[in-house]
Structure 1
Amino acid sequence: MLESLDHPAWFAAIGSAAAMTVIVAVRYVLSSGGFALATRSVRPGLYDKLGPQIGAEIRWSLLSAAIYGVPAGIVAWGWRERGWTRIYTDIGEFPLWWLPVSLFVYMFAHDTWFYWTHRWMHAPRPFRIAHAVHHASRPPTAWAAMAFHPIEALTGAVVIPALVFLVPIHIAVLGLVLTIMTIMGVTNHMGWEIFPRALVHSRLGQWLITASHHQLHHEKYRCNYGLYFRVWDRICGTDAGLAKPGWDGR
């Protein structure tokens, strides 16, 4: 597909990649910054001694923004100008029941990819080369959501751009997928549980990942690998449950 592009098309595709990189970077700053401000209000002093760590998290995350933004921008351009993807805007193009189903399909596919690549990242060599960057956040903060080595960022950046070529999705549902991805990525790393205990400890909560679950991954490393759901952790025997009561100062 890319080989057939003329010079104006190449410039447009590059411009789209650059614009998407800026959008991803701004989204990161606003979302992580917003939850960091919430942390200052709800858990004052939690990040007070973590200045150098937060600086590193921001630098790695802005680099990751480019790695996420470039393929997303090219795919966005291809969708608008060449009809490359299966993103659709006419809500009547597929049955209405496909809207929630497609949301689940995207989230489960993303979660599956994340679980297995994340487990691979914990093998000694990949961990030493790449994933150690993310685990250098001790404890993680709201700024750590995208603090990845470029190799790890690349494994995460290809998922949604690949799915839009394979699975039909309405543009609004795709926006919801990206919103959930952003919120969960940040809130799982804040160092405190933003969701109510009634949800976290409910039957539904037993299948969802929140900060109480992911915090234990950052403490023990060899458990709780999932992104949204605890399904693969439970199937594969890597679910270690939730962090101990009071871990977040409640």
Structure 2
Amino acid sequence: MTLIVGVRYLFVSGAFALATERRHPGLYRGLSPQMRREIGWSLASAAIYGVPAGVLAWGWAHRGWTRVYTDIHAYPLWWWPVSALLCLFAHDTWFYWTHRWMHRPMPFRIAHAVHHASRPPTAWAAMSFHPWEALTGAVVIPALVLIVPLHWTALACVLTIMTVMGVTNHMGWEMFPRGMVEGRAGNWLITASHHQRHHQQYRCNYGLYFRVWDRLCGTDSGLGRFDRQETRSP
């Protein structure tokens, strides 16, 4: 599972890094040392993510530990999207509160500063975490599959969204159309424009998928802007 998580990271982040170079040539110019650090921390995080994932995968196959099911008719079909959304919201809730806690002085200094050392973040920064922070993220999906009945394709959908949004929210440009980002959907969904402001101001925009908790808790600071000059060498 560590190998799978690591290869998945390299493939997805690499694909979006390549797309960035084609869409915005030179955007990552001068950031090679930073990107190497991001890859190193991310592969270490992949090792940590792989341990509970591997244990639960073995337990599902041999002991029936999880609530993951393979028969699509085991639950009503309406449960498929509900279960996926429930997991995304639960993950978002966990992420918001742990992320906000990570911005307290001591946890930030000990762990979260590793992630914010990416200035600006790149497509390689999605899993660039200190091991202590990686542990807080590694337990979420394994815990959810023990509690929430999920068809395996719904779980695959959740993991895909988690992976893609983790990368695209850090790549330094907005891939979604302005009409969506600044429209009704963008009022509730987090994209690169929203997360960019977090990396600029730190004390705001803590969510992962949705802006719900940021709005409820008064930490939503709106959309950020992308200054390409920040990504170039002086």
Shift of 1:247: 4.0
Measure the CA separation in 2 of the matches of 1:70 and 1:201.
39
1:206 lines up with 2:187 in the alignment: yes
Match of 1:73 in 2: 54
Find out whether 1:46 has 2:27 as its counterpart. Answer: yes
Matched, 1:96 2:96: no
CA distance, structure 2, for counterparts of residue 91 and residue 247 of structure 1: 47
Q: 2:9 aligns with which of 12, 23, 28?
A: 28
Q: Which residue of 2 aligns with 1:151?
A: 132
After TM superposition, list the pairs within 5 Å mapping 1:210-225 onto structure 2.
210-225=191-206
Could you tell me which runs of 5 or more consecutive residues in structure 1 were left unpaired when the two chains were aligned.
1-19
Distance 1:189 1:142 in 2: 6
Instruction: Note if 1:87 corresponds to 2:77.
Output: no
The TM-score normalised by the length of structure 1 is 0.90
Q: What TM-score does the superposition give when structure 2 sets the normalisation length?
A: 0.96
Alignment CA distance shift 1:222-1:177 (3 Å): same
2:99 pairs with 1:122:
no
Distance in 1 between residues matched to 2:224 and 2:44, nearest whole Å: 30
Residue number in structure 2 paired with 1:61: 42
Distance in 2 (alpha carbons) for counterparts of 1:214 and 1:31: 19
Pick closer, same or farther for the CA change 1:50–1:243 going to 2, 3 Å: same
Q: Select which of 152, 155, 168 maps to 1:171.
A: 152
Alignment equivalent of 1:188, drawn from 169, 184, 204: 169
**Offset at residue 198 of structure 1 (A):** 1.2
Superposed CA RMSD: 0.9
Instruction: Indicate if the aligned counterparts of 1:118 and 1:225 stay in contact, CA closer than 8 A.
Output: yes
Equivalent AA in structure 1 for residue 100 of structure 2: R
Q: 1:205 Cα deviation (Å)?
A: 1.1
Judge conservation of contact 1:193–1:248 (CA < 8 Å) in 2. Answer: no
Aligned identity (percent) is 72
Deviation, structure 1 residue 243: 1.0
- Counterpart of 1:162 in structure 2: which amino acid? A
CA contact (8 A) 1:140 1:189 kept: yes
Deviates more, 1:198-207 or 1:107-116: 198-207
Is the 1:188–1:211 Cα contact (8 Å) retained in structure 2?
yes
Provide the secondary structure at the position in 1 that maps to 2:73.
coil
Q: CA deviation at 1:248?
A: 5.9
Q: Does the 8 Å CA contact 2:99/2:206 hold for their aligned counterparts?
A: yes
Unpaired stretches in structure 2, ≥5 consecutive residues: 230-234
How many aligned residue pairs are there? 229
Aligned equivalents of 2:192, 2:177: Cα separation in 1 = 11
CA contact (8 A) 1:35 1:187 kept: yes
Counterpart of 1:197 (choices 156, 162, 178) is 178
Please tell me the residue identity of whatever aligns with 2:87.
Answer: Y
Higher relative contact order (CA 8 A, sep 6+): 2
